[in-house]
Chains A and B, each alone.
Chain A
Amino acid sequence: MFRQPLRNAKERLRLFLSECGRRARVLRDSLRRQPNRIDPSLRFVPGFRYGYWEREARGLELLKEWLSPEQFAQYDAKSYFEVIGCHSGKRYRVSRGTSMNIHELDGARCPCVGWCFVPKGHLVAGDIMLAQKIALETNERGALAVANRFPVSTGRRNMLHYPAMP
């Protein structure tokens, strides 16, 4: 009885998500074409705007200098790299970004929990990712103690996966 409406709703959702993806790609391409684009969250930090790209590039250079050869290759190919927590031995994926860019991976290397911690101040993406890498590799517990957890959507189950309460 409900099969047909369910099928219709599923199809509408598929089209909607497809359209969202298309719009996101258009927006991303248009932003790439604007050389003076800055992260909106940093727009009101005095003195931050000028030389944004130079600072971004320097941050990424520094990050690449400090990545291990495996991490460097992974980052170069996929825009993320994986680190192993020094205390738990768990694997984390650090994606390019400035917040909500760390995912704890399960045994199948699928993201199961998101972690968010950043160095204080307005730093560029490369610096933030480097600080996150060093923190997880040298003081995992300390880093996670200040971090906020967030749920991640898993492709396998096609639903939000909420972390257990501490």
Chain B
Amino acid sequence: MATQIVMDRTGDTRHNFDAKNADALLKAEERFRELTGAGFTAAVRTASGEAVVKRTFDPNAEETLFFPRLVGG
């Protein structure tokens, strides 16, 4: 089961989906596009635990984290 984690005011919202299911994958890809289009940054973790930013949807990613656009504080 793969997960897309979206940071929001509730802490985070998790969308779990079966990466082997074509429909679920399509929906996840759509969500990815919507969020990145809205300014969110998508990041995944490599096997070594390092974070890597993704510009395109990675169907093999087990966990993708989305955080909103950064602004000066």
Contact = CB atoms under 8 A, between A and B. Distances in A.
B53 A120 contact: no
B51 A124 contact: no
Interface in A107-131: 116-124, 126-127, 130-131
A130 B6 CA distance: 12
Contact of A130 (B53, B67, B71, B72): B67
Contacts of B51: 66, 133-134, 137-138
Contacts of A122: 9
A123 B51 CA distance: 20
B73 interface: yes
Given A119-B67, A133-B51, A47 B5 contact: no
B34 interface: no
B7 interface: yes
Given A116-B73, A146-B72, A62 B67 contact: no
Q: Chain B interface residue count: which class?
A: 20 to 34
Interface string A15-30: 0000000000000000
Contacts of A99: 73
Contact of A68 (B8, B10, B49, B68): B49
A45 interface: yes
B15 interface: no
B72 A62 contact: no
B12 A138 contact: no
Contact of B65 (A47, A66, A68, A142): A66
B11 interface: yes
Given A119-B68, A137-B51, A148 B73 contact: yes
20 contacts: A47-B9, A48-B9, A62-B5, A62-B11, A62-B65, A68-B50, A116-B72, A117-B70, A117-B71, A118-B71, A119-B69, A119-B71, A123-B7, A123-B67, A126-B11, A131-B7, A131-B67, A131-B70, A135-B41, A137-B51
Interface of A: 45, 47-48, 51, 54-56, 58-59, 62, 66, 68-69, 99-100, 116-124, 126-127, 130-131, 133-135, 137-139, 142-143, 146-148
